[in-house]
Chains A and B, each alone.
Chain A
């Protein structure tokens, strides 16, 4: 069973309306790379122009935030679930 990437609602229109996708991947970064290769329009919403995950994109491996693990180098194995959870921010100036 490969790694499953759960796609949040606001990004599903850019992923063929799918709520998940599965890939063979050894790290979170590899899985997100496959995701944005298959669904290229997702890239700009997940990553800055410098290739960093946007600050409001939260990524979990089996409910653990990758910020507290090895970030995009967090290892993944078959059967793991990667969840992309938005946080929301804004302000008047």
Chain B
């Protein structure tokens, strides 16, 4: 069984995701996670592993939820939005490494609909927004067999500038 992967994100960016969910409540919010993967996967030195995130979120690209017909329980990011997010990522020397969205008055757990529409490799951050107030925030990655998501640990921190 693979070890759970870990996502680093600064407190500032985590709060921006939560604020976006509160802003769009009772509708779902969505946006791109910009960041990069490190080469720590496979590293065995525990000090190196502790000091280097497997995946680090360095920025966000908030988007408009295109599901105007059902925004309370659905979100949609078009291919044009994906291309815009990728362009923004490239401009900052990072990649689109995942997506965030909110679950208004629902738990921060991926639904069957989430699973059916997910891409592998991406991190999917979900924030639960209860009565307009952001609550739990979780992250998930789709398994290779597409049958379920595996949870991804979120560490609220960022590396010191070098």
Q: How large is the interface on B (under 10, 10 to 19, 20 to 34, 35 or more residues)?
A: 35 or more
B95 touches A9 (CB 8 A): yes
Q: For residue A79, which residues in chain B have a CB less than 8 angstroms away from its CB?
A: none
B121 touches A9 (CB 8 A): yes
B110 touches A90 (CB 8 A): yes
A58 touches B79 (CB 8 A): yes
B104, B110, B117: the one within 8 Å of A89 (CB): B117
Please provide the chain B residues from 100 to 128 with a CB less than 8 Å away from any CB of chain A in the complex. 101, 103-106, 110-111, 113-114, 117-122, 124
A92 touches B104 (CB 8 A): yes
B56 close to chain A: CB less than 8 A: no
A38 close to chain B: CB less than 8 A: no
A90 touches B120 (CB 8 A): no
Chain B residue nearest to A48 (CB atoms) is: B116
A64 close to chain B: CB less than 8 A: no
Q: How far is the CB of B157 from chain A (nearest CB, A)?
A: 25
Q: For residue B14, which residues in chain A have a CB less than 8 angstroms away from its CB?
A: none
Q: For residue A56, which residues in chain B have a CB less than 8 angstroms away from its CB?
A: 117, 119
Q: How far is the CB of B25 from chain A (nearest CB, A)?
A: 12
Sample of 17 further A-B pairs with CB below 8 A, known A88-B77, A88-B82, A92-B104: A9-B96, A12-B121, A44-B145, A55-B117, A86-B79, A87-B79, A87-B81, A88-B99, A89-B77, A90-B99, A90-B111, A90-B117, A90-B118, A91-B28, A91-B67, A92-B73, A93-B73
